[in-house]
Structure 1
Amino acid sequence: MSYGIRLYVWGDRACFTRPEMKAERVSYDIMTPSAARGILEAIHWKPAIRWVVDRIHVLNEISFDSVRRNEVKNKILDSDVKKAMNGRDIILQHRKPDEDPQQRMTVMLRNVAYVIEAHFEMTMNAGNTDNPEKHYSIFCRRARAGQFYHQPYFGCREFPVHFELLEDGHSTPVSHYAQTPEQDLQWMLWDLDYGTEISPKFFRAIMRKGVINIPDLYEREV
């Protein structure tokens, strides 16, 4: 039995921020594999499994909007967090954007829709009661009912994700780029490698007829 899944996701806005942009938020052209993984984990994740994104189908035409948003200038200091953890009388409070304004440009995606093809693998943290069929059934049950542990989002929490499980008998929606043989979307963030130190990994995103095949970091060098 195959434990791969197809999840149809869509929303009004999305922003998958390019890490090379420091001051402004500028989105990639499509959803990143790490964002797709985050959506799956929002529906079902346990230490016993690891989600692997296989393909991303880009359904709608890629289009952008530019807006200015009020963000905060400062952040809570790590030193204050450590003091609070040690029992010091420290107030950990983030100031509101209207109290500490910082206007920044955001270049975001408009009217996005994707199909995520993925599977999961069992990890070393799997217990005696963990097995692939169990976790597959849990994910499918939750996805069918529209349930999640926390609201999945497209890059930023203000861009919520709507989702629908595509089961056997449900065809993948036709992509706007179904007649486009190949489109090079340049280098894209694959994910963060949490090895001896946290390091970003990138891959060359090539879209063929609206589909991007995603390499697996753990199988080959990315």
Structure 2
Amino acid sequence: MQHNNIVEFEVSGDYALFSDPITRVGGEKFTYQIPTYEAVKGVLQSIYWKPTLIWIIDSVRVMNQIQTETKGIRPIKYTGGGNDLSYYTYLKDCRYQVRAHFIWNDNRPELQDDRNEHKHHNIATRMIERGGRRDVFLGTRECQAYVEPCRFGEGESFYENTPQLDFGVMYHGITYADEAYSDETRDKMTVRLWRAVMKQGIVAFIPPEQCIHRSVREMEIKPFGETFGNFAPVESEVV
């Protein structure tokens, strides 16, 4: 389906760490070979985010060869203080093209007066041209990244002549209560899984509602609006 509010950009960085949150509790961290939906959504939210909308990631194009590098890290211990020694395995020399669009967040009826598609799309496009509103990183905070506009599909991908690579069942993302899309996800925090496939270098993500989902815990939505402090919807500033 073609959307009118599509954005396209390239994000690149020296390193990336895309991992399942479950594996981040222990000392060792190992990256997935391709970006997760949630990580790319985080990049877009660093570029431009409002609670009025939800970013939907359509596709990611892997431009560079998938390579990994292991580093010895001294993280702070969870208990007892001091430092520990761990090995983190990162992706290196990362470059991705991204295509995405946004939908309105129906869980936020108090912000319906802010649903101006033309305004939000224009601001998002300008923020891509300026490298984002907040710091951009690939998976984890130490993996600084940079954003610039591009036309999705232009340029040569290392994998454009590779018919298909299957990465098995992967972590897709987390659905919070304020982005619920069904009765099963309403008032809950839910984790999503999917079967990841790359064809000719392109990972076409399925939308959250088509994923395998598992409820994690109950969660309430914190409303915005005049009766809940200074969160009344206002027109975004012109930048």
TM-score (structure 2 length as normaliser): 0.77
Unpaired segments ≥5 residues, structure 2: 177-184, 213-239
In the other structure, the counterpart of 1:191 is 173
Partners in 2 of 1:129 and 1:121 — Cα distance? 13
Partners in 2 of 1:56 and 1:23 — Cα distance? 29
Aligned equivalent of 1:181, options 160, 163, 166: 163
Aligned residues: 196
Judge which range, 15-24 or 44-53, deviates more.
Answer: 15-24
RMSD: 1.9
Q: Percent identity?
A: 25
In the alignment, is residue 200 of structure 1 matched against residue 191 of structure 2?
yes
In the other structure, the counterpart of 2:60 is 56
Give the Å deviation of 1:54: 0.6
Structure 1 segment 91-110 matched on structure 2, within 5 A: 100-110=82-92
**Residue-by-residue CA offset, 1:33-72 (whole Å, 9 max, x unaligned):** 1000000000111011000001111110000001110101
**Residue-by-residue CA offset, 1:161-190 (whole Å, 9 max, x unaligned):** 1111125xx752321000000011111111
**Runs (4+) off by over 2 Å:** 18-23, 124-127, 170-173, 193-199
Structure 1 segment 48-197 matched on structure 2, within 5 A: 48-74=52-78, 100-124=82-106, 125=108, 126-148=111-133, 150-166=134-150, 172-194=154-176, 195=185, 196-197=187-188
Partners in 2 of 1:199 and 1:107 — Cα distance? 27
Unpaired segments ≥5 residues, structure 1: 76-94
In the alignment, is residue 34 of structure 1 matched against residue 16 of structure 2?
no
Judge which range, 104-113 or 194-203, deviates more.
Answer: 194-203
**Aligned 8 A contact 1:12 1:112 in 2:** yes
**Aligned 8 A contact 1:16 1:35 in 2:** yes
